Structure 1
């Protein structure tokens, strides 16, 4: 090997060693290349509406089973099955012939009783004049007075019989006791029915407004009342608004109102019932539908919402999350979480204003490690990362933003920002 070739070989070896140092990360450029990038969400306090999502079913606000009050043969059905009826509408007609005859007989008996009254009245008046002349005995006058009283009693009894016959005759036309939607008829014309039979002819349900009966656990009730007593939650007010999520996941367009909550808890299930009332002008809601009621229970001021995707559990079962601090280092904290609000946790401890919580890439880092933070936006409906801002957020930039948000705008204005 010549003397001139040796320096060239040494230079080549030096270049190879330098390249290896850069690839294994021992040099400054390798350390920067190995710094992982994570997506973060900056947390800020806010007023959070506490909403309980409770399962339940719709029920009619009024239900009436239609039964005959007199016996006979059904002549006609007078309503359209499945249609709307109003209170007092005729639904069925029972053969009225026998009841019409009973009514006519009662009217004849009344006329007979009324015809006996004038004769008895005249006899009493005549005896009252004759007794002054001692032409009749006192006993005869008493008998005449008793006969008049009997005639008047017969008239009263006959009037009652006429009224009973009239009522029974009216009962041959079966009318709707309430307004609402009528079900199918269980019997057809020609069927024999009896008074107050067990089988209902049809059922009417009032579904505007419609009720929603939901169940709430007693544990959630205790937690809510303790939070209100401690001042962590402010109650929404006397008129509590209720929304409804239907079986297909859509939200019912009309809001309801809370009617009442039971005053006792079931010993078997540990729950109590809550009823809400919803307007239903389009008859979209039908009795028996499975729904979920969204009840606004109160408002938590100065609270933090932490994305659920950012929270995990440590070996002790405590909820934890990873943060990127002001120095650009990853740190792990134990959180105090409450109930879920959408795809987030309501958090009351372990977080502060302007904290940057890692929502994506947590598996690439560990506590104490430096990381580049990229601001992300979470889709509230799915809980997934919707978009990321281009470029990372240096640690000193985050610290300056935190100082400005805490101390207010700088007195030097834009010039000071440009100087920094």
Structure 2
């Protein structure tokens, strides 16, 4: 009985050393954070648009005689696409040319007559009125030459319009009119449409409230504007390879959607982007020079959804802090408030950590020391080994 009491007393003493106030100080791993420059990244939706788009339209009336392109092919600026029946316009050119010749002949005759009347009028062989009329007729004939010359130019231009060229270089779509169709300069439908697909525009929609908040934050808390590359994610979830750049931001807000359009420009050498595609654009609109990058493992959320973490203070106690961490960047949370330069952030040993608990901090990158077992430990191990039993 005495031996049992002594054994119980010894056992209770060992538990007292391990539990309660005698519990060993937990070891935690930490990292030291310093402010750094972090891009303020925005991801927005957008639509692709052709860099250039032009309708092919007739400028004269007539019947289409020939179509000189393959639908869906690449056409060059100035390339002839359609031919409209030119016979009426060629006849108009011939008529205007004849009228010009007649007007020139009449102008020459009236000028000669006025020149002959001049000395006769000076000799009073004819009346001054006859000489004045001759001069007026010569001037009218000269003006008629100008009018018929302009008519000839107009007729020649209309004849040239019977061949319809490509206004821009690009890929042409389907032809909306076939050979034999009657077309007119006043029709609403184009003959075809040409689009230049390299480079390509992407129109990105950003809410006016977000843009206003960004502009107000510039120059505060280390936030500065930047011009960064734009990355695209296509409709199938795959990333588009080439990067683009924001060209400009519109100066008006869409009254229906409350958004502002930002236009980005992307190279499209392989023609992968087509007009009207839905894409996601990711780019940096500003840089925060006073942000902290904290490993995601160190940050937790409380019942209210606030981001919290533990910081080791000068007395080696784990102090819980509430921080502002609205987004991630890779394996880190971007913390914009709640931390100071040089803070030691606990990243390891967080499972049973409580606020204001004394801890033994070690750097996260420090390797754990594994010592060789002592002779007593080896002897005890041999005694308890199953191979050594009985």
Q: TM-score range by the shorter chain?
A: 0.7 to 0.9
Q: 1:182 aligns with which of 167, 172, 196?
A: 172
Q: 1:349 aligns with which of 337, 355, 371?
A: 337
Q: Which residue of 2 aligns with 1:234?
A: 224
Partner residue of 1:141?
131
Tell me which residue corresponds to 1:283. 271
Distance 2:55 2:300 in 1: 55
Segment of structure 1 superposing worse, 346-355 or 107-116: 346-355
Q: Which runs of 5+ in 2 are unaligned?
A: 371-390
Local SS of the residue matching 1:229: coil
Contact 1:375-1:392 within 8 A present in 2 as well: no
2:119 corresponds to which of 103, 122, 129:
129
Q: CA deviation at 1:193?
A: 0.8
Q: SS state of the match for residue 69, structure 2?
A: coil
| Candidates 72, 83, 108, aligned match of 1:93 | 83
Farther off after superposition, 159-168 or 175-184 = 175-184
Q: Is residue 300 from structure 1 mapped to residue 288 from structure 2 by the alignment?
A: yes
Report the CA distance shift for 1:308/1:54 in structure 2 as closer, same or farther (over 3 A).
Answer: farther
Tell me what 2:109 maps to.
119
Q: Measured at CA, do residues 107 and 345 of structure 1 come closer, stay the same or move farther in structure 2, by a change above 3 Å?
A: same
**RMSD after superposition:** 3.8
**Equivalent-residue separation in structure 1 for 2:228 and 2:301 (angstroms):** 35
- In structure 2, the partner of 1:381 is none
The structure-2 alpha-carbon separation of the partners of 1:195 and 1:218, relative to structure 1 and needing over 3 Å to count, comes to: closer
1:168 match? 158
What are structure 1's unaligned runs of at least 5 residues? 1-5, 377-387, 394-420
- In structure 2, relative to structure 1, the CA distance for the partners of 1:178 and 1:132 (3 Å cut) is same
Quick check: 1:204 aligned with 2:171?
no
Offset of 1:184 from its aligned partner?
A: 1.6
* Contact 1:243/1:251, CA 8 A, preserved across alignment: no
Change (3 A) 1:191 1:31: farther
SS in 2 for 1:210: strand
Q: TM-score, normalised by structure 1?
A: 0.73
Structure 1 pair 188–310 and aligned structure 2 pair: CA distance change class (3 A)? farther
Aligned to 1:261: 249
1:184-211, Cα deviation, whole Å (9 max, x unpaired): 2111212111113101111112233322
Q: Which moved more, 1:170-179 or 1:284-293?
A: 284-293
- Alpha-carbon deviation of 1:159? 1.0
In structure 2, the partner of 1:191 is: 181
| Aligned-residue offset at 1:342 | 4.9
Alpha-carbon separation, structure 2, partners of 1:325 and 1:250: 45
